[in-house]
Structure 1
C-alpha cells in the first residue's frame, strides 16, 4: 500500500500532479500562489526536527561504512491527504558515490482529543484606535449596523480617538446611537499625544469597566467584517488557552482594479471578493486579533513606547507565540482590509521603512495587474486581452 501511494498514480488533469517541496539542511523551497510568500524559507523548529528524523532514518536504512549523515545533499517531499508524506533524499559520499533513498511517513488515524461548548453569551469588546478618517468610520458603521442588530447586548464598541475635539466623530456617531439605542459604547479622547496604535489599543482594553472578562477584538477603522467572522472571533479564543489571529484578506488599490478591468467599481460589494484579482491574504500582518482581556493583561500587553512602524503588533504576537497559549492563525474569508493610501515616514529606521514600503507595494495590485499597467502600451487594446491574461 505504501508503494502504491507513491508509484503508478494517474491524474485527471495535469494540474493535479503534486508539486514537491525541495529542502536541504537549512532551507526549504516551495511554490505558493500567494505573491507575498518567500520562495525560500528557513526550516523552523518543528520542520527541522521532522527533516532531521527523516535524514537519520535514511542513513540507518542504507547504512554501511561509506554513508554518514553529512553526506545528505538535498531532498524533496509532498504530503498526500489521508495517506502520508513521500520523501526522496539524495546522498553524495567522499568517494563521489550517489544514493537516492525513498521514504514514506504514513498518515496516522484521526484521534478525537476533546470537545467543549461555546458560550455565545460572552461579551465582545471591539477596540478601535481612530484619528480623523471620519468618512471611513461612517463606512465601518454601515457594516457594523448589520452585526449590531444580530448581536444586541453582547457587543461593545470602544473608540480611542486622537485629536483636540471629537465633535466630528460625534456628528456621525450620535445619529447611529440614537437610531439603534446603542448604549454599549465608550469613547476615550486623547489630546496630549500623537496617534499611537499600541497606546490606543492598550488604553481601550484597560478602560473596560464591566464585571465580565470580555473577548477583545483588536480592530482598525478600515476593517470590514461579517457575522461569520464575529462567530469565529468568539469561538476560537479560550481563556488561558487560545487566542485567534485571523489572516485578513487585503484588498488591492481600486484604481488599479478599475484600470485592469476597464470598468468602474463603484459599490464596495463589487470589491469584497476573496479572489487573487481583488486582493491577497495579509499573512505578514498581525494587527487583528481576538483575545480574552485577562490573557492580554497577563501576557504583558503592547509595548506602548514603540514608535516604529508595525513593530508593536509583531511583539504582542511574539509574546503569545512564545507562551503556553496556543495561537490559532488561519485565513478568514469574512474579514477584509480596505485599501487606503499608506504613508511611510522618512524618519523610520532603514529596516522599518523597507517593511513599510514592502507592505505598500504588496497592497497595490497583483503581479498580473501591475505588469499590465507597465506594459499597457505594448498590448493591443483592440484584442480581448483580458480573456487571454486570465
Structure 2
C-alpha cells in the first residue's frame, strides 16, 4: 500500500512537471510570435475569421467607431460631441500610422508615409482593438485604399485592404412630407453648397403628400436650371415602404447611381460627406451607417452665446452647444444598390426608420459583410418643430423626450427656466434688440395721438350738444 502511494505521488509529480514545461514553451512561442517585425497580411495568412470581426455587442457602445481627424475625437458616448486629442492619443495614433506606413512600404510595394493617412477610426472588438484608416495619394485619384489594422490581444497585427471607388455616383434617396420649409432649405443647400463641389450625385424624393409633388418639381426645375445633367425624380406615394421606396432593378434607378444613400428625413451635408460615403462602401464587402449630428433649436442656443449663426453653412458645425449625436436610432445608410437588395429581401413594407434598423441588424448577421457605424461630422439634421400628438400612448413619451433633447442642451434649457422663473425677458427685446426700440417709441406716439383724437372728438361733441341746448 505504501508502495502504491509512492507510485501515485511520482505520477502526479511528473504530470505537474510536464504541464509546467508545456506552459513555458507556449509562452516562449507566443513571445517570439508577437515580436516578429513584419506584419502578416491576407496574402500570407488565411484571415477569413479575422477580416469581418464583429463588435463586442451589436449596436452598443462598442459597435460604434470613434472617429478621429487631425485635431479632434468624435465619440457618441463621450458626453461631448467632440474634444481635442490628448497627448497620449496623439502618441499612439502616430505609432499606428507609422507602423501601417512602414508595413505598406516594406511588404506591399507601396510608398507610403504617415502623412498619407488622412483619417482614422478605432473601436474595441471581441478579440482586441480595430483601427480603420484611409490613405490619400495624388496618384491614387484622391485615394482608393482603405486599410484595417487589427491588433488582437496577444496576437500579431493583421492588415486588410479594401479598394473603393472615389468616383462612384451616389443616389440620395429621401422620404418627404410635402413641400415644407425644411425641404426648401435642403434643396437650396444642395444647389448652393454641395453640387458646386461634387456633382456626381442624383436625387430621389418620395413624397407622402402627392398633392404637393407638382410644386416640388417646379421648385427643383427652377433651382437646378444651371445643372441640366443632374438627374432627379419626385415620386408620389401614399405610404413609404422599403419595397416601394427602393426600386432595385429598373434601368432608370441604376442610371441614378450604383451607391444609395438612404435617409429617413431631410439631411444637410458638407461636400466631404460624399467622399466619406464612397470611402466606406465596397460592393458585397462593406456598408456604412453614419451617425448624424442633430442641431439644437438655434433660437434657444444663441441665448448663451454672443453671436447668432444665420447662414446655414455656419450652423453645420459640431460642438457641445450646437447639438448632439443622434445615435439611438438608425437614420441613414450608405451602401451599394446590390447590397441594399440583399438586405431588404426579407423586409415588409413599413417606415423607413424601421427598415433601416432591420437592415443594420441583417448586415451585422452576415458573415462576409463589414458593418461600419461611426459619428460623421459632415452629416447634420436641422431642428424643426413636429407634433407628438399622432404618436401612440407608448411612443408619445419617448417622442416628447426626443423633442426636448432636440430643442437645446440641458444647460440652456435650465437657463431658460431660470429666466422665466425670474420674469426676465428671454428674447431681450428691450435689453438686447436695440434695433426694435423705435417700435416702443412709435407705439407710445400712436397712443398719444389716439388719446388726443378722442379728447378732441369728445370736446366737439360736448360743444355741439351745448349749442343745441342754448338754441332750444
> Is the 2:202–2:257 contact (alpha carbons within 8 Å) kept by the matching residues of 1?
no
Q: Find out whether 1:142 has 2:185 as its counterpart.
A: no
Q: Find out whether 1:361 has 2:404 as its counterpart.
A: yes
Q: Find out whether 1:118 has 2:164 as its counterpart.
A: yes
2:349 aligned to 285, 293, 305, which one? 305
User: How far apart, CA to CA, are the structure 1 residues paired with 2:348 and 2:251?
Assistant: 15
Q: Give 2:291's aligned residue.
A: 247
> Is the 1:202–1:302 contact (alpha carbons within 8 Å) kept by the matching residues of 2?
no
User: How far apart, CA to CA, are the structure 1 residues paired with 2:282 and 2:155?
Assistant: 26
Q: Find out whether 1:343 has 2:390 as its counterpart.
A: no
> Is the 1:277–1:366 contact (alpha carbons within 8 Å) kept by the matching residues of 2?
yes
1:237 aligned to 250, 260, 281, which one? 281
Q: Deviation per CA, 1:220-256, whole angstroms, max 9, x where unpaired?
A: 5531111211111011111121111111111001222
Q: Deviation per CA, 1:160-179, whole angstroms, max 9, x where unpaired?
A: 12313522112211112322
Q: Deviation per CA, 1:352-381, whole angstroms, max 9, x where unpaired?
A: 334323322221211211111122257898
**Which has the larger Rg?**
2
**Which stretch of structure 1 is more off in the superposition, 254-263 or 161-170?**
254-263
User: How far apart, CA to CA, are the structure 2 residues paired with 1:378 and 1:189?
Assistant: 48
Q: Give 2:234's aligned residue.
A: 187
Task: Give the direction of change, closer, same or farther, for the CA distance of 1:304–1:258 in structure 2 (3 Å limit).
Answer: farther
Q: Give 2:311's aligned residue.
A: 267
Q: Find out whether 1:289 has 2:336 as its counterpart.
A: no
> Is the 2:173–2:204 contact (alpha carbons within 8 Å) kept by the matching residues of 1?
yes
> Is the 2:292–2:376 contact (alpha carbons within 8 Å) kept by the matching residues of 1?
yes
User: How far apart, CA to CA, are the structure 1 residues paired with 2:294 and 2:163?
Assistant: 32
User: How far apart, CA to CA, are the structure 2 residues paired with 1:213 and 1:266?
Assistant: 34
User: How far apart, CA to CA, are the structure 2 residues paired with 1:368 and 1:168?
Assistant: 41
Q: Find out whether 1:158 has 2:201 as its counterpart.
A: no
Q: Give 1:319's aligned residue.
A: 362
Q: Give 1:57's aligned residue.
A: none
> Is the 2:174–2:264 contact (alpha carbons within 8 Å) kept by the matching residues of 1?
yes
Write out aligned runs for 1:1-390 (5 A). Answer: 33-34=78-79, 111-145=157-191, 146-152=193-199, 154-162=200-208, 163-190=210-237, 193=238, 195-196=239-240, 198=242, 201-203=245-247, 208-210=252-254, 214-219=258-263, 222-261=266-305, 264-300=308-344, 303-306=347-350, 310-324=353-367, 325-348=369-392, 350=394, 352-376=395-419
Q: Deviation per CA, 1:273-320, whole angstroms, max 9, x where unpaired?
A: 20110000111131111011111111225845336x943332222122
Q: Deviation per CA, 1:120-141, whole angstroms, max 9, x where unpaired?
A: 2322111111221443223222
> What is the TM-score normalised by the length of structure 2?
0.52
> Is the 1:205–1:216 contact (alpha carbons within 8 Å) kept by the matching residues of 2?
no
User: How far apart, CA to CA, are the structure 2 residues paired with 1:255 and 1:204?
Assistant: 42
User: How far apart, CA to CA, are the structure 2 residues paired with 1:315 and 1:111?
Assistant: 33
Q: Give 1:54's aligned residue.
A: none
Q: Which runs of 5+ in 2 are unaligned?
A: 1-59, 62-75, 82-122, 130-150, 426-472
**Which stretch of structure 1 is more off in the superposition, 235-244 or 354-363?**
354-363
User: How far apart, CA to CA, are the structure 2 residues paired with 1:301 and 1:205?
Assistant: 13
SS in 2 for 1:298: helix
Q: CA deviation at 1:115?
A: 2.3
**Which stretch of structure 1 is more off in the superposition, 160-169 or 239-248?**
160-169
SS in 1 for 2:198: helix
Q: Deviation per CA, 1:141-162, whole angstroms, max 9, x where unpaired?
A: 233223323333x322112123
Q: Which has the higher helix share?
A: 2
SS in 2 for 1:339: coil
User: How far apart, CA to CA, are the structure 2 residues paired with 1:354 and 1:282?
Assistant: 17
> Is the 2:295–2:381 contact (alpha carbons within 8 Å) kept by the matching residues of 1?
yes
> Is the 1:127–1:205 contact (alpha carbons within 8 Å) kept by the matching residues of 2?
no
SS in 1 for 2:386: coil
